[in-house]
Chain A
Amino acid sequence: MYFLKRLFFALPLLLLISFLAFMLVHVAPGGPFDRERKPASPEIEHQLQAKYHLDEPAWKQYLRFLGDLSRGDLGPSLKYRNHSVNDIIAQALPVSLVLGALAFGLSVGIGVPIGYFSAVRRGRWQDYAGSFFAILMVCIPAFVLAPFLVMYLGIRWRMLPVALWGTPAHTVMPVIALGLFFSGRIARLMREGMLQVLRAEFITTARAKGLSEHTVLLRHAFRLAILPVVSYCGPLLADLLTGSFVIESLFQIPGLGTFLVNGSLNRDYTLVVGLVLLYAVLLIGLNLLVDFAYVVLDRRVKYA
């Protein structure tokens, strides 16, 4: 019931987001057809505007957009004029999904164990090594790591393709460059969470009852300690799944991130609004999933 209510409220929220996105891109100075080269006559320029209804008042354009949206059509792209925004999403979203999910898997797969063991071996060399790794990863942004990988794995040693997309080999470097950064953050969250839970009274109780250390840590502590990581993962996953501009442009990957950034630079109104909406849907959906995961992980959590 609670989740149904949340879903119900998501609709007006999406509407509001679409309105804000639509108005913001239109308010930005310059338009999609402001280019170095103007058509030979003002009439041609006017036709360009008229074809995409850019000569109408903004509220009318917005209503037109909503009308199309109700039919599941996000409209034509103003820059890529042979394509609709739906086409672009259909082609680029799967790429971003694969890249994002792999990077997410990598960051969680590395971050959680490292955080866990750092906390369990607190103050010993494993802790220092793990924390050092986490700090290092957080400090190296993707745009530094990626060229470094390309230089060695791609150009010097010719082990992996330097760019493009299509085979598993193409995913290795982008996934590492994208995922490692977040693995550092996850490791830190995990370590903090674990340390906090281990101080809790019920852990002492569990130990006092004579449960094995293994059971105490994995069955009791871990479930609660991972909650901060889970809350962080919702927005993170939404972020990763909708593409990363930096990684996509460094490896020339045909994902959504490049379209979102270039779309706003090109004042491709329809494309930007469509992608913002997609991002909002993912974000709302994943946050809902996170809340759901709380119920599963922490039985004290109940939604009224």
Chain B
Amino acid sequence: MIALRQNAPRQPRGAFSFHAFPALILVLLLLLIGCGRPQPAAEIVIANGGEPESLDPAIVTSYSDMRITKALFEGLLRLDGEQGRPVPGLASHWEISPDQTVYTFHLRSNLVWSTGEPITAEDVYFSWKRALDPATASDYAGQLFYIRNAEDFYTGKLKDFAEVGLRVLDRLTFRVELNSPLAFFLDLCCFPTLAVVPQKSIERAGDRWIGERPLPSSGPYSLVYWRLNDRVRLRKNPQYWDAAHTRTDVIDILPTGSPNVALNLYETGIADIVWDKDLIPTELLEVLKQRPDFHTFNYLGTYFYRFNVTRKPLDDPRLRRAFALSTDKDRIVRKLTQGGEKPAYQFVPNGVANYTPPQGLSFDPAQARELLAAAGFPGGRGFPTLNYTFFSAAGGAAKMQGKIAVELQQMWREHLGVTVELRQIERKVFYNTQSRLDYDLSASSWVGDYNDANTFLDLYLSNSGNNRTGWKNPAYDDLIRRANQQTDTARRAGLLREAEALLVETEAPVVPVFFYAGFNCFDPKKIGGLNQNLLDEHPLQDLFRRPAATNPDRTRED
């Protein structure tokens, strides 16, 4: 321990000087300069949402990560950048059996990995098998459960993978057998989970195969480096079958967590594109909306709230309808969100392919009060105090949740005379609470995985892990099941519409509030090949920088 000797201080031997500090700083600065090797600037720099959780297409779950993996690993089909519709990818064409349960895909004959080895049907087989392997622990393994016996294999009921409906017919032919007809199977073939990944790398490096260099890629770009929280650099893959149409050589992706940083990077010309709805600086929306480089569009996502139908009195559909009818959605998009969102009266967003949604419940406080009275609470008298559970954050899109909660609370008080308490909790706790049905009403949102009504409506199947309302309705389950086995597009749409009417008009376990607006920020005079579509789908190979003539002085720090 410390002991001070109390005798007289000795003469110090050498004077301590703080001349060392400037020297230290100089040394550090030199070190830093040495570290920061200047690197060639990328042609296009994109601010893309948070740090990627992964670049493994079987693992990724967020849309911003998928944008990168789609550039690295292509599937049998891919989504085009105009409309976000499936177009041929690694497969040039395919045949569908008359009963629509067997798909035979023909791979292009000129397919090679970025490292030069050929891509064959065996690679497709390996990739899909890997996504279905429980050891891979892919979140989206369920996208493959439509394949014959796939779910039984996953759950271990079936040991032999050979019985799963996947066949390699020859080097370039791959056959898939489904459980039943599936209207959106080609859309699923574009989904990253079903992308083609390099077997050798994965067998060599296991879970860390993305770290291999060079990393074999099957898509239009290959990975130059991925520096955590710093940037992902992609370079054109000259071996890609359609490399002739890849328009930009080097693209940098900046993982950007904060809307303010994204906007600063964009404003100072460091980033050319900002494209994530979580990167909208809501405080500046008013100003940004007026600008020609700010683009909003309809997006495949719905903001809504859930009821816990296992709790009284919300087990009464009349009361749930009363809440829905007293929610002034128009006011929320006009007064609060303001980013071009559309009020939602249905759960499936506007513009989803081959589908016309039902009418839904409009804003009608008078009818809401009638329903409330009919359920035994005239004027809200005797109605218990319920909670509305949500999570919020200091900035960005999550901040809006709190404002919406306050607005909803006010509407229910005004129109129904009921008191709802707001319960704000932390994000992870919130999802856990919602799954355990430990709430009365809760804020929610859902973004579709593919352009089909099913990606919204299958949430409320009785056995869905994303149901989270306690609502189980055999008639609804039956309608969805029959719709998905239906081969006739119009008849299928009718069945789905019937199911959605049950969901949003009759039973109302959820109340849609608004459809999200997508958000892209870029100068069309500088950047081309970026179209706005429902899926917010922007293949990187379509992007290009317009010739410098229209863009005289560019300053870039890199």
Q: Does B466 contact A (CB under 8 A)?
A: yes
Residues of A within 8 A of B138 (CB): 44
Output the least CB separation between A4 and chain B (Å).
15
**CA distance in complex: A267, B428 (Å):** 8
Mark contacts of B139-175 with chain A using CB atoms, 8 A cut-off: 1 yes-contact digit, 0 otherwise: 1111101000001001100000000000000000000
- Beta-carbon contact of B28 and A98 below 8 Å: yes
- Beta-carbon contact of B154 and A105 below 8 Å: no
Most B-side CB within 10 Å, residue of A106, A166, A299: A166
- In the complex formed, the residue of B with least CB distance to A220 is B12
Interface size band for A:
35 or more
Output the least CB separation between A262 and chain B (Å).
8
- In the complex formed, the residue of B with least CB distance to A151 is B264
Output the least CB separation between A284 and chain B (Å).
17
- Beta-carbon contact of A82 and B3 below 8 Å: no
- Beta-carbon contact of A35 and B431 below 8 Å: yes
- Beta-carbon contact of B432 and A29 below 8 Å: yes
Interface residues of B in 266-314 (CB under 8 A from A): 267-268, 270
- Beta-carbon contact of B142 and A34 below 8 Å: no
Q: Does A14 contact B (CB under 8 A)?
A: no
Interface residues of B in 25-40 (CB under 8 A from A): 25, 28-29, 31-33, 35-36, 38-39
Given A43-B154, A164-B254, answer yes or no on A31-B2 (Cβ-Cβ < 8 Å). no
Q: Does A15 contact B (CB under 8 A)?
A: no
Interface residues of A in 250-304 (CB under 8 A from B): 250-255, 258-259, 265-267, 291, 294, 297, 299-304
- Beta-carbon contact of B465 and A29 below 8 Å: no
Output the least CB separation between A186 and chain B (Å).
11
Mark contacts of A162-174 with chain B using CB atoms, 8 A cut-off: 1 yes-contact digit, 0 otherwise: 1111111111000
**CA distance in complex: A166, B8 (Å):** 52
**CA distance in complex: A113, B444 (Å):** 56
Output the least CB separation between B114 and chain A (Å).
18
Q: How many residues of B contact A (CB 8 A)?
A: 87
- Beta-carbon contact of A38 and B465 below 8 Å: yes
- Beta-carbon contact of A39 and B51 below 8 Å: no
**CA distance in complex: A226, B155 (Å):** 66
- Beta-carbon contact of B32 and A37 below 8 Å: no
Interface residues of B in 72-126 (CB under 8 A from A): none
- Beta-carbon contact of B9 and A300 below 8 Å: yes
Q: State which of B14-22, B340-348, B410-418, B508-516 sits at the interface with chain A.
A: B14-22
Query: Residue B208 contacts which of A84, A163, A254, A301 (CB distance < 8 angstroms)?
Result: A84
Q: State which of A65-73, A118-126, A133-141, A153-161 sits at the interface with chain B.
A: A153-161
Given A41-B142, A45-B465, A91-B227, answer yes or no on A299-B10 (Cβ-Cβ < 8 Å). yes
Query: Residue B21 contacts which of A109, A250, A252, A304 (CB distance < 8 angstroms)?
Result: A109
- In the complex formed, the residue of B with least CB distance to A167 is B36
**CA distance in complex: A41, B157 (Å):** 14
Q: Does A198 contact B (CB under 8 A)?
A: no
Given A48-B137, A81-B59, A162-B268, answer yes or no on A105-B428 (Cβ-Cβ < 8 Å). no
- Beta-carbon contact of A40 and B257 below 8 Å: no
Q: Does B549 contact A (CB under 8 A)?
A: no
Residues of B within 8 A of A167 (CB): 33, 36, 38, 557
Q: Does B473 contact A (CB under 8 A)?
A: no
- Beta-carbon contact of B137 and A158 below 8 Å: no
Interface residues of A in 1-54 (CB under 8 A from B): 28-32, 34-45, 47-48, 50-51
Q: Does B4 contact A (CB under 8 A)?
A: yes
- In the complex formed, the residue of B with least CB distance to A222 is B16
Output the least CB separation between A88 and chain B (Å).
6
- Beta-carbon contact of A47 and B24 below 8 Å: no
Q: Does A199 contact B (CB under 8 A)?
A: no
Output the least CB separation between B24 and chain A (Å).
6
Binding site for B on A (CB under 8 A): 28-32, 34-45, 47-48, 50-51, 76, 79-84, 87-88, 91-92, 94, 98, 101-102, 105-106, 108-109, 112-113, 147, 150, 154-155, 158, 161-171, 202, 218-220, 222-223, 226, 249-255, 258-259, 265-267, 291, 294, 297, 299-304
28 example contacts (A-B, Cβ-Cβ < 8 A) are as follows A37-B466, A39-B465, A40-B142, A41-B154, A43-B155, A45-B465, A50-B137, A80-B53, A80-B228, A81-B207, A82-B59, A82-B211, A92-B229, A102-B32, A105-B28, A109-B18, A154-B268, A162-B261, A163-B261, A166-B39, A169-B557, A219-B15, A223-B12, A249-B261, A251-B261, A252-B265, A259-B229, A300-B4
